[in-house]
Amino acid sequence: MAKERQKKYDSVTHYLATNGGSQVTLTFTQFDELLFPHSGLPKTARTDVDWWANDHKHPEKGAYGWLNASYQVVQVNLEKEYVVFNKLLKSNWLI
What does the pLDDT look like over 20-59, one tens digit per residue? Answer: 789 999 999 998 888 877 888 989 999 999 999 998 787 6
Quote the CA–CA distance of 87 and 82 in Å, as a whole number.
Answer: 17
Domain count of the fold of the chain: 1
- State residue 36's pLDDT score: 77
- State residue 18's pLDDT score: 92
Q: Is residue 20 part of a domain?
A: yes
What domain range includes position 70?
9-87
Q: DSSP label at 90? A: G
Q: Is residue 3 part of a domain?
A: no
> Which of 10, 63, 69 has the alpha carbon at shortest distance from 36?
10
Q: Is residue 57 part of a domain?
A: yes
Quote the CA–CA distance of 68 and 33 in Å, as a whole number.
Answer: 21
Q: Mapping DSSP to helix (H, G, I), strand (E, B) and coil, where does residue 8 land?
A: helix
Percent of the chain with pLDDT over 70: 85
- State residue 4's pLDDT score: 52
Q: Is residue 92 part of a domain?
A: no
Mean predicted confidence (pLDDT) in 68-72: 93
Quote the CA–CA distance of 40 and 30 in Å, as a whole number.
Answer: 10
Q: Is residue 82 part of a domain?
A: yes
pTM: 0.82
